[in-house]
Amino acid sequence: MAAGYGEYAWVTVLLSLMDIRFWLLIFVLVLGLVTLVIRGRKSREQVRKQEQECQNLNQQIIRLQGMLNAQEKDAMIRLETAENLAHQLKSSLNSLWLRMELSGMNEQLEETLNHMNSQLEGFLNISTVHYNDRQLCMELVSLKEIIVQEVMPELSGYTGELDMNMMSGWLYGDRQMLRQAVETLLVNALRHSNQVTVLLTETATGLCLEIRNRTSGTSLPPEKRYASREPGHYGIGLDLARTAAREHLGKLTLSLENGVFAARLCLPVHPWETPDCNVSEKPD
């Protein structure tokens, strides 16, 4: 300053005291503070949106729970009505059987009446399965024996040709339920085709029953219960087969390729579930 530099000397002194690192530190602090403010606002907005979504979901859950409760009550009423009707039909069938037996006409219609009675009994059994009131009678059974000895006699009214290639197909299962599943798959196939192929194969972990038939349809039929074209008639066959597969930890799959419809019922078989395993006659 004594040399005459004046204000320039003051500026030179100040710049020498504050280098670039000081300004860089100030910039970083300001930038961090601005970032924290922005993130805080975004976090509060996100929390507010999540709380609103939770409230909406809770309201939807309450509405859905009310609808589910109403449907369960309606389903129980329908089930009770259907079971009452089935029991009344069984009573009427028994009365008819008694009258025919007294009149000596029971021998001519014995097979038909027994078939009607088994259908009603099967409906009552399946209705309990659908409502998780399972009363499965597990025993060592052969799918081949079920098809040949129990299902085939019931198909005498169909004129279709069956091409069958079957292994024994042993497993532990409910004979009545498996029979209903196999019968409904065969009946559906014979209704739509004059030639049906039945394959029953075994593997190390399970067995697979495949039933194929030609069809003019272009789409797969629904597996769940559906209203058919006939008034008051419902298609429940595939639903029964799917239920039987699920109750035996298996799976029912449908396919349609090149005009050939195939239904595959695959069931698991554990190593101890073999026909020559050392088990009692009435396994637990």
Longest dimension (CA), the chain: 146
Q: Give the Cα separation of 225 and 223 in Å (integer).
A: 7
Of 243 and 112, more confident: 243
β-strand pairing of 161-166 with 195-202: parallel
In the chain, count H helices and then E strands.
Answer: 6, 9
**Alpha-carbon torsion, ordered 270, 272, 274, 280, to 10 deg:** -140
Q: What pTM, to 2 d.p., does this model score? A: 0.52
pLDDT at 222: 67
Which contiguous run of DSSP H or E holds residue 79?
helix 20-103
- Assess contact for 282 and 219: CB atoms under 8 A: no
Element (H or E) spanning 209, and its range?
strand 206-214
pLDDT in tens, 140-190: 899 999 999 999 988 877 888 899 999 999 888 888 889 989 998 998 898
* The pLDDT of residue 239: 81
Cβ neighbours around 207 below 10 Å, total: 22
